[in-house]
Amino acid sequence: MKRMISSLLISLIALTLCACSVNDGAKEQSSTSPSITTQPVTEGNKNREMTATAYSLGITAKNYPIIDGSTSTLPLVQAIYRAMYGDEAYGDSSYPKEASKTVPSYRRLIRGEADLILVPYASIDVLEEAKNAGVELEFHKIASEALIFITSVENTAESITLDQVREIYLNYGITNWSELGGPDRKLVPICRNSDSGSQSQMDNLVLNNEEMHPDIQNNYVELTMEGMLELVAFYHGGGMSGSPTNSYALGYTLYTYLQQMNEVTGIGDRLKILSFDGVLPTAKNIADGHYPLANGYYAVVRADLSNDHSARSIITWLQGEEGLEAIENLQLIPSVK
């Protein structure tokens, strides 16, 4: 059952993103910057006329920057491409159809294989990798985001606290939902793989980079964002076995990603977002920082990137009116300035 639902989810997302939406610069780069290959000029885009927006930013097919990011920001990477090449550009062979994901994107940037990445804030481990490589990262916040905790909509539990989450994921010390004001059912804590954006936020905001309990890491890891939503929503029903269990799963994801997925698949109707330390995550509470686990999406470049590089022009666009409109159209939360 799980495998069939996952396939349907992935197909629906791909169809929706295709149908709608979701390096040198003019001067030489700084000598301290590594050699970075520009976006390849392929049959799909070499003859395409750039938009007026691209021309106003000095962006051409030859200097279009290499942009990567997390799964959750892929629609924004695609929106940038269409803004520069035109709405019909989704048919180009160079149209961005997948993302490297959060941690691999940071590593590509550190190695000089990408010019710009759109990602959640870096984990402590990633920042250490950059430092060891002699690379300084430069962060530009472009949207607000938040880590949220989810369970099945059928679960009567309504909230969770920081201490409870830490007790669950670090010590595996809470194993029944009754301890969280829910039913007398087993609590099954689902986690993400270490190179995911939501896991980076879990490490940064909740676990303080402490090691998760090995029983959770070894037995309850979900490798995809959509898989996390599906597993938490249907775990009590038995998943592929179809045999109901006396349990409900606990998981975590990113707020705007869940909103986007719900628009496509309706999965949000099968999930309940838990209040965290007494605050319900809403767009308003996240944007104004009232929700404790609010963070953001960032446009990240190497600090030694030259000031006239086209990647910096993309950041300028993202922080302007057109970029703000694209961010809002993708149901991301604009940052409060």
**pLDDT of 335:** 77
Name the percent of the chain lying above pLDDT 90: 76
Residue from 98, 79, 88 nearest 13 by CA: 98
Instruction: Give residue-wise pLDDT tens across range 242-297.
Output: 688 999 999 999 999 999 899 889 999 999 999 999 999 999 999 999 999 999 99
Compute the average pLDDT of residues 88-93. 86
pLDDT grade for 240, boundaries at 50, 70 and 90: low
Per-residue pLDDT at 13 exceeds 70: no
306-329, pLDDT tens digit by residue?
Answer: 999 999 999 999 999 999 999 999
Domains in the chain (CATH in brackets) are 2-144+296-329 (3.40.190.10), 146-287 (3.40.190.10)
Integer distance in angstroms from the first to the last C-alpha of the chain? 45
Matching residue, tokens 């550190």? 110
For residue 33, pLDDT over 70 is answered with no
Tens of pLDDT along 106-142? 999 999 999 999 999 999 999 999 999 999 999 999 9
Which pLDDT score, from 0 to 100, does residue 11 have? 41
Q: Tens of pLDDT along 163-191? A: 999 999 999 999 999 999 999 999 999 99
Q: Compute the distance between CA of residue 247 and CA of residue 268 in angstroms, rounded to an integer.
A: 19
DSSP per position, 299-335: EEEETTS-TT-HHHHHHHHHTSHHHHHHHHHTT-BPP
Section 232-239 average pLDDT: 90
Q: What is the pLDDT of residues 287-302, one digit of tens each?
A: 999 999 999 999 999 9
Write the burial class of residue 64 (CB in 10 Å: 0-12 exposed, 13-18 middle, 19+ buried).
Answer: buried
User: Is it the case that residue 20 has pLDDT exceeding 90?
Assistant: no
For position 236, what pLDDT does the model report?
94
Q: Is the pLDDT of residue 45 over 70?
A: no
pLDDT of residue 197: 87
Could you tell me which residues are beta bridge partners of residue 276? 160, 279
CA distances from 218 to 188, 189, 290 (A): 13, 12, 34
